[in-house]
Amino acid sequence: GKVSACTAHAALLSMFDLSNFCEDFAKAKHVAIITGAGVSAESGVPTFRGQGGYWRKWQAQDLATPEAFSRDPSLVWEFYHYRREVMRSKMPNPAHLAIAKCESRLSKQGRSVVIITQNIDELHHRAGSKHVYEIHGSLFKTRCMSCGEVKANHKSPICPALEGKGEPDPSAKDARIPVQHLPRCDGSGCNGLLRPHVVWFGETLDSDILTAVEQELEKCDLCLVVGTSSVVYPAAMFAPQVAGRGVPVAEFNMECTPATMRFKYHFEGPCGVTLPPALERHESEAI
């Protein structure tokens, strides 16, 4: 039938593409890897967007806003507490591990790998990646609303009042935690309200991180876009910008996207399957 012929053609194409990609990869000195929700989804991390993406009766874009936090900090903290607790049972998948392994192997050869991620779950760190820019922040960092201090925080629960709260069931009652019992700053004499150090809808990305990322994209000679549709800003802007300089871009995700035509390579399927063989040691590598 037509479908199987098409699939067979795609499979053939991707084998041919893979050997070409591996040659580009073997020559690259500075590899930039842009990752998005698709990489985390394969570790079972919920995204709270699209079909079935609800926590209680909300999607992420209802709660991940400065307005929602000022209106109901207890509810927003329940949501983020739940997400932090869920992460305790999730592990890096083969895509995260392949990226970390590749970074450490290439650094011994004097080559660099940088990860630019939209994910806030720290799975790249847990897989062993060192050179990571978290452009949307992290579930495991807090920022004080009063003094502005940003701090790592892996406590479970993040504060006693949130113990056992955050149940995702639509029938669960809101905890209505008094604001003084929500996570507070432990800086000397501060005690300000803490918020998750994540970029919410309607907020801008950290300009220092953006500048550093721009510099990495300027010098990269190979770019991988992994598990992100290139529709979501900023991957939407980053990868085409790199392709525009004539640098090879390889897209690894579940389907074609509006940007696919502008990239040299497209590998369809789960990243945990497609990425590891692409990042394997090439026979031309000295180490």
User: Does the annotation flag 229 for ligand binding?
Assistant: yes
User: Does the annotation flag 220 for ligand binding?
Assistant: no
User: Does the annotation flag 52 for ligand binding?
Assistant: yes
User: Does the annotation flag 265 for ligand binding?
Assistant: no
- Do residues 113 and 133 touch, judged by C-beta distance below 8 A? no
User: Does the annotation flag 119 for ligand binding?
Assistant: yes
User: Does the annotation flag 43 for ligand binding?
Assistant: yes
Q: Report d(CA 91, CA 74) in Å as an integer.
A: 28
User: Does the annotation flag 69 for ligand binding?
Assistant: no
User: Does the annotation flag 41 for ligand binding?
Assistant: yes
User: Does the annotation flag 36 for ligand binding?
Assistant: yes
Nearest to 38, CA basis, from 28, 49, 30: 49
Report the first-to-last Cα separation within the chain, whole angstroms.
46
User: Does the annotation flag 121 for ligand binding?
Assistant: yes
Pairing of strands 222-226, 137-144: unpaired
User: Does the annotation flag 47 for ligand binding?
Assistant: yes
The answer to whether 131 is a known catalytic residue is: no
User: Does the annotation flag 50 for ligand binding?
Assistant: yes
Distances in Å between the Cα of 127 and the Cα atoms of 38, 83, 84, 101, 163 are 16, 19, 17, 9, 28
Long-range contact pairs involving 128-134 (C-beta distance under 8 Å, separation at least 24):
128/97, 128/100, 128/101, 128/103, 128/104, 129/96, 129/99, 129/100, 129/103, 130/103, 130/104, 131/103, 133/209, 133/212, 133/213, 133/216, 134/209
Q: 124, 136, 197, 266: which one is catalytic? A: 136
User: Does the annotation flag 137 for ligand binding?
Assistant: no
Q: Report d(CA 85, CA 104) in Å as an integer.
A: 29
User: Does the annotation flag 51 for ligand binding?
Assistant: yes
User: Does the annotation flag 239 for ligand binding?
Assistant: no
User: Does the annotation flag 244 for ligand binding?
Assistant: no
Which residues carry a binding-site annotation for Zn(2+)?
144, 147, 185, 190
Which residues carry a binding-site annotation for NAD(+)?
36-55, 118-121, 227-229, 253-255, 271
Which residues carry a binding-site annotation for substrate?
80, 83
Catalytic residues: 136
Which residues carry a binding-site annotation?
36-55, 80, 83, 118-121, 144, 147, 185, 190, 227-229, 253-255, 271
